[in-house]
Amino acid sequence: MTLETTKPTPSKGSNSQRRPQPQVQTLKPGDITASLRAGLSDYFAYPVMSSFFGLFYAVFGILFVWCLIWLGKIWMIIPAMVGFPLVAPFAAAGLYEMSRRRQRGEVFGWGEILMVMAAQRKREMGWMAFVTLFVFWVWMYQVRLWLAVILQDASFSDLDGFLQTVFFTPEGWTFLAIGTCAGAFLSTVLFSVTVVSMPMLLDREVDFVTAMLTSVRVVAQNPAVMLGWGGIISITMILSLIPWFLGLIFTLPVLGHTTWHLYQRAVASSQA
């Protein structure tokens, strides 16, 4: 009688069938400069289409602020304007696709870009949108919390009254200090998990957790360069909000195109 030994069949989730982790590259300050040049080139190659995405984002921001005024939520205007750029990476999906196609030398129009954007609802991009919006919600909630704790006796009947309390009273200065620290922490977290994950999800068949971890690895391996890039984004976006969000018509597309090219330099090609 022969004793037969049956070897276990490897499961689909075995290590042998797992895809290798994306390879993170080391960046230099010159990579930001080169990516900005490429981003500007993409913008001026398709200025109308690029500006459309910036205009859409700006109009949404204006309507958002006016809704807050209409609802009497005056205190929410400033934190909303400060936190609004947090959702910019998701809004730039069409810009990433434009840069990808132009980099490949493809000719494209509105239809191709909008179809790719619509297809993202069936992929992992939706989960990243959830993460982004969740952080934005946490930002707004913590502002409301500190507002109640620190400025509990203040009354904000209009925007001028809110600004007067926040900028010209000791309680307002405390509120600003704590809010700034909390906002900086949340922004750093969100920047770390989205800086390359958004374009990666558009470019590759990876899950959103892998994309986020890769993004964090890029930031951890290149802290100085990514800190500089984060500073450029923050300053540019905040300045763009001053003239009623209208600066976003130009700056959002340029930053979106640039982010694509920086992602290309930060993460090795999947074909390598």
Predicted local distance difference test score (pLDDT) of residue 9: 47
Predicted local distance difference test score (pLDDT) of residue 154: 64
- The per-residue pLDDT of the chain, averaged, comes to 83
Predicted local distance difference test score (pLDDT) of residue 60: 83
Q: Which structure tokens are listed for 249?
A: 């018509």
Q: Is the pLDDT of residue 6 over 50?
A: no
Predicted local distance difference test score (pLDDT) of residue 10: 46
What span, in angstroms and rounded, lies between the C-alpha atoms of 109 and 179?
43
Q: How confident is the model at residue 141 (pLDDT cuts 50, 70, 90)?
A: confident
Q: Who has greater pLDDT, 153 or 266?
A: 266
Q: Stretch 38-47: mean pLDDT, rounded? A: 96
What span, in angstroms and rounded, lies between the C-alpha atoms of 48 and 143?
37
Q: How confident is the model at residue 46 (pLDDT cuts 50, 70, 90)?
A: very high
Q: Stretch 47-62: mean pLDDT, rounded? A: 89
Of 85-99, 172-186, 187-201, 203-217, the one with minimum mean pLDDT is 85-99
Q: Which structure tokens are listed for 39?
A: 């981003």
Q: What percent of the chain has pLDDT over 70?
A: 85
pLDDT digits (tens, 9 = 90+) for 106-137: 888 888 888 887 776 667 777 887 888 888 88
Q: Stretch 52-71: mean pLDDT, rounded? A: 85
Q: Stretch 264-270: mean pLDDT, rounded? A: 88
What span, in angstroms and rounded, lies between the C-alpha atoms of 150 and 135?
22
**DSSP string spanning the chain?**
-PPP-PPPPPPTTSGGGSPPPPPBPPP-HHHHHHHHHHHHHHHHHSHHHHHHHHHHHHHHHHHHHHHHHHHT-GGGHHHHHHHGGGGHHHHTHHHHHHHHHHHTT----HHHHHHHHHHGGGSTHHHHHHHHHHHHHHHHHHHHHHHHHHSTT---SSHHHHHHHHHHSHHHHHHHHHHHHHHHHHHHHHHHHHTTHHHHHHHS---HHHHHHHHHHHHHHSHHHHHHHHHHHHHHHHHHHTTTTTTHHHHHHHHHHHHHHHHHHHB--TT-
Q: Who has greater pLDDT, 115 or 200?
A: 200
Q: Is the pLDDT of residue 84 over 70?
A: no
Phi, psi at 169, each rounded to 5°: -135, 150
Instruction: Write the CA distances from 132 to 84, 194, 233, integer angstroms.
Output: 11, 8, 16
Domain boundaries, the chain: 25-266
Predicted local distance difference test score (pLDDT) of residue 58: 86
